[in-house]
A and B are shown apart, each in its own frame.
Chain A
Amino acid sequence: MRGSGKRRFAALSLTLLGSAALAAPACGTTRPITLTFYSSGDVNVHHLWASDLLPMYAKICSQVHIRLVFSTHGTADQLTLDRLAAAKQAGKPSGVDLWESGLLLEAGQSGLLRKLSPAAISNLKRVNPEVFASYGGYGVPYRGSSVVLAYNSNHIAHPPRTLSGLERWIQAHPGKFTYNPPNTGGSGDAFVQAVLEQFLQPAESKAFFTGYAPQLEAQWKPGWHELIKLGKDMYQGGFYPQGNVGVLQALGRGSIWMAPVWSDMSLSYLAQGLLPSSIKLEQLQPPFYGGSAYIGIPKDSAHPQAAEAFLNWLLTPGPQAVVVHQMHGYPGVEWKYVPSSVQRKFAAIAENYGVGFSPKFDADMAQKWSQKVAGSH
Chain B
Amino acid sequence: MTTLQAGARTQQEKRPIRAQLTGLLLVAPPIALLALLVAWPAVSAISFSLGLIPGNNLLFSQGLHLIRSDHPTFQVYKALWGQPAFRADLALTVGVALWSTLSICVLAYALALYTHFHRHRLATLLRSLYLVPMFVPVVIASYGLLLFFEGRGWLGSLIAQLGAPYRSPIFHQGGVVLGQVWQGIPFGVLLLGAGLEQIAPELLDAARDCGANIWTLLGRVILPLNWTGLLIVATFTFIGGMGSFTIPFLLGPNAPQLLAVEMNNYFGSFDQPQPAVAMAVLTFLIASLAGGLYVFATYRQRKL
Contacts and interface: CB of A to CB of B under 8 A. Distances in A.
Chains A and B form a bound pair = yes
Contacts of A85: 58
A326 interface: no
Interface stretch (A157-165, A288-296, A366-374): A366-374
Interface in B79-99: 83-85, 88
Contacts, number: 57
A370 B271 contact: no
Interface string B138-155: 000000000000011000
B58 A370 contact: no
B83 to A, nearest CB: 7
A63 interface: no
Given A359-B271, A363-B271, A106 B62 contact: yes
Contact of A370 (B62, B151, B254): B254
Contact of B152 (A81, A255, A364): A255
A370 B152 contact: no
Given A183-B270, A366-B269, A367-B272, A240 B254 contact: yes
B4 to A, nearest CB: 60
A167 interface: no
A335 interface: no
Nearest to A377: B255
Contacts of A181: 254
Interface string A202-235: 0000000000001000000000000000000000
B58 A110 contact: yes
A3 interface: no
Interface residues of B, number: 25
B275 to A, nearest CB: 9
Residue from B250, B265, B266 whose CB has the most chain A CB atoms within 10 Å: B265
A82 interface: yes
Contacts of A255: 152
Contacts of B269: 182-184, 363, 366-367
Please classify the interface of chain B as helix (H, G, I), strand (E, B), loop, or mixed, using the class held by over half of its residues: loop
A371 B272 contact: no
Contact of B58 (A82, A183, A363): A82
A363 B276 CA distance: 14
A370 B85 contact: yes
A287 B59 CA distance: 33
A357 to B, nearest CB: 12
B256 interface: yes
B175 to A, nearest CB: 12
A359 B85 CA distance: 23
A285 interface: no
Interface in A286-325: none
Given A82-B58, A239-B171, A239-B254, A371 B83 contact: yes
18 contacts: A78-B59, A110-B58, A183-B269, A184-B269, A239-B171, A242-B250, A364-B64, A366-B265, A367-B265, A367-B266, A370-B85, A371-B83, A371-B85, A374-B254, A375-B84, A375-B88, A375-B254, A375-B255
